[in-house]
Amino acid sequence: MRALLQRVSSAAVSVEGQTIGQIGHGLLILICAMPEDTEATADALALKISKLRIFKDGADKMNLNLAQTDGGALVVSQFTLAADTSRGNRPGFSGAAKPDHAKHLYEYFATQLAALDIPVQTGEFGADMSVSLTNDGPVTIWLDTDLP
């Protein structure tokens, strides 16, 4: 799985002008399932994200995880994280998981993150969404379960 994390002071996602998910401070998590991913992959990624110490402590050091700051997570499906730009000028997305598999893993990931005591809001899989956010830092981190 691939995830792009953005530390935010607020974030929201809307579909057709209606807000369907929003958080205060925490993480906006853009997530993409790849064909070989499994529930075990999603479990590992949720656990990794929950433990990342990327929030400031009292000494202004990135030393706290999401739960330690009572932050939330806004999880949004983003198949374009699988973009292949190696040929030409139009990205290819055949490297992303097929929609049924991707939807299952997206929903499973959000459920597993919530099971780790993280308040979770989500977007709508497959919808044309508008995402707004206020970056905090900015801090943006790329995670790929296929990379060390």
Helix (H, G, I), strand (E, B) or coil at 43: helix
Active-site residue among 6, 79, 112, 122? 79
Residue 111 a catalytic site member:
no
Active-site residue among 19, 38, 68, 80? 80
Residue 22 a catalytic site member:
no
Residue 112 a catalytic site member:
no
Instruction: Return the exposure string of 34-60: e unless at least 16 CB atoms fall within 10 Å of the residue's CB, then b.
Output: beebeeebbbebbeebbebebbbeeee
Half-sphere exposure of 40 (CA within 13 A, CB side): 2
Calculate helix-pair angle for 39-51, 99-115, nearest 10 degrees.
40
What's 98's DSSP letter?
A: P
Active-site residue among 6, 41, 78, 122? 78
Residues forming the active site:
78-80
